[in-house]
Structure 1
Amino acid sequence: MTRTLEIPSLREAVTPQEWQARVDLAACYRLVALFGWDDLVFTHISLRVPGQPDQFLINPYGLCFEEITASSLVKVDHEGRPLMDSPFDINPAGFVIHSAVHVGRPYVNCVLHTHSLHGTAVSAQAEGLRPISQQAALVLPRLAYHGYEGLALREAEKARLVADLGSRNLMVLRNHGLLACGRSAAEAFNGMYLLEAACRIQVLAQSGGGALVEVPQDIVDGMPQQSREVTRGQGADLVWPALLRRLDRRLPGYDA
């Protein structure tokens, strides 16, 4: 027996701008599932509602990422309190990290957090991410670290997390996982893709047992400029339409 969720469409109940944000966020959730970074119904991606700096969209607690649709997303305030009627709840621990970043970094619109196996493996390594791949070289200039403080339930951790993140958009959460943030769902996803790839490459390279060659620091320092040149200044927007087409082929229905 196939079990399906009947979720009424919210398309006519929200502004066109919010609807597009919902579609982008639902797509981001499904891409995380498609790439195998999800953790059952845990971890979260949040997105600020366009034009509403104190309103955010987040996943309904209990749905797998591959099930999430634009209409199933829950709209909450800074405290994680629902702002619209919804049959779904949210994970109270889930929004602590996200609200901290959204409040501390007003220009960050999307926060993506994962517990991926390779990312968590690197988060437990004393040296953290090493410059042993092109992906790592792209990531390191914008990478921060935050020490593990247990399940993200305490308000007091917020200030420390934001201070550790600083002005960077990628973070290794020690013994926990990874975090990426950006001006859009596309930007956060693209950052996470590179960070996750760098972590996976490191674990694979270490499994060979031999000495590893590191990228020189001067090359790492020059990678942000080279990246802008390669994407012709488009950044994550260059690949996002192609990712949506992949979703349309493999996990359609996110825009419902």
Structure 2
Amino acid sequence: MSQAEWEVRKDLAAAYRLVALYGWEDLVFTHLSARVPGPEHHFLINPYGWLFDEITASSLIKVDSEGEIVDPGATNRVNPAGFTIHSAVHMAREEAGAVLHLHAADGVAVSAHEEGLLPLSQTAMLCLDHISFHDYEGVALNLDERERLVKDLGDKNMMLLRNHGTLTVGKTVAEAFTYMYFLMKASEIQVRTLGQGEPYLPSQAAIDTTSDQSKQLGMASQLTWPALLRKLERIGSDYAT
């Protein structure tokens, strides 16, 4: 494979390990994907049945836009629901270098809240302009759902999949992970805050100011991602093998 593909593989494997490290995994039932550099419209996704803390760069499965495995000799399979969701975004958004989808409890809880994400924290207010919503239609096995999901996502980089989970899109794995971190942290804060009773809300002026400041949120990945990779290296992770 090309060096460019190997670098994407390492970043995606790192994202899987970080999801496990932060406790956001759901056994083997969610998925992160990344586009393989080149004109073929191939992308990488986890082998179905592997825990996130088992994923390595070399174990990722390469599939085409129809969900067919293109790795020579690959013996693992991919989650069909993962293919439905991820292929929809990769096919519709040329700039979508990575798509992350989680079922983490706080994210699901906020997706099930009628108003979605509330401006209860600075973190949430930095996310608000990036959020979209998609109604639950059942386990994502129906390829017809792809068109509706893409329409609901529009040009946003974060999505609350109602009663289901969270999704983020980035030009790179690093950017998509940074969006997910902010969305998950905002969700965690919201769940804790609403558990205390009536929340205190900031002024609309403060919300608007923070919204303006959030336009370059994805650029935070330039600082966060190298630090996160150093974290994995310090704990001796073998993600890059």
TM-score, normalised with respect to structure 2? 0.95
C-alpha displacement of 1:216: 3.0
Q: Are 2:109 and 1:121 equivalent residues in the alignment?
A: yes
| Alpha-carbon displacement from aligned partner over 1:140-197 (angstroms, at most 9, x marks no partner) | 0110000000000111111111111111000000000000010000000000000001
2-structure distance, mates of 1:117, 1:98: 21
* More helix per residue: 2
Tell me the number of residue pairs that the alignment of Structure 1 and Structure 2 aligns: 240
Provide the residue aligned with 1:133 in structure 2.
121
- Match of residue 84 from structure 2: 96
Paired residue for 1:239, among 220, 224, 228?
224
Report the Cα distance in structure 1 between the residues aligned to 2:233 and 2:214, rounded to whole angstroms.
28
Deviation of residue 115 (structure 1)?
A: 0.1
Amino acid at match of 1:252: S
Distance 1:68 1:26 in 2: 6
Structure 2 residue runs without a partner (length 5+): none
CA RMSD after TM alignment: 1.6
Displacement, 1:79? 1.2
| Selected match of 1:60 from 39, 47, 55 | 47
Of 159, 162, 171 in structure 1, the residue corresponding to residue 150 of structure 2 is: 162
Matches for 1:1-256 after TM superposition, within 5 Å: 14-84=1-71, 85-209=73-197, 211-223=198-210, 225-227=212-214, 234-256=219-241
User: In structure 2, the residue corresponding to 1:181 is in which secondary structure?
Assistant: strand
Once the two structures are TM-superposed, the CA of residue 35 in structure 1 deviates from its matched residue by 0.6
Q: Distance in 2 between matches of 1:29 and 1:235?
A: 19
- Contact in 2 for aligned 1:66/1:251 (Cα 8 Å): no
Deviation at 1:252, TM superposition (A): 1.1
Q: Distance in 2 between matches of 1:83 and 1:53?
A: 11
C-alpha displacement of 1:238: 1.1
Amino acid at match of 1:36: G
> In the alignment, residue 103 of structure 1 is paired with which amino acid?
M
Q: Displacement, 1:32?
A: 0.5
Listed as ranges, the gaps of 5+ residues in structure 1 are 1-13
Quote the offset at 1:80 in angstroms.
1.1
Q: Percent identity?
A: 52
Contact 2:125-2:211 within 8 A present in 1 as well: no
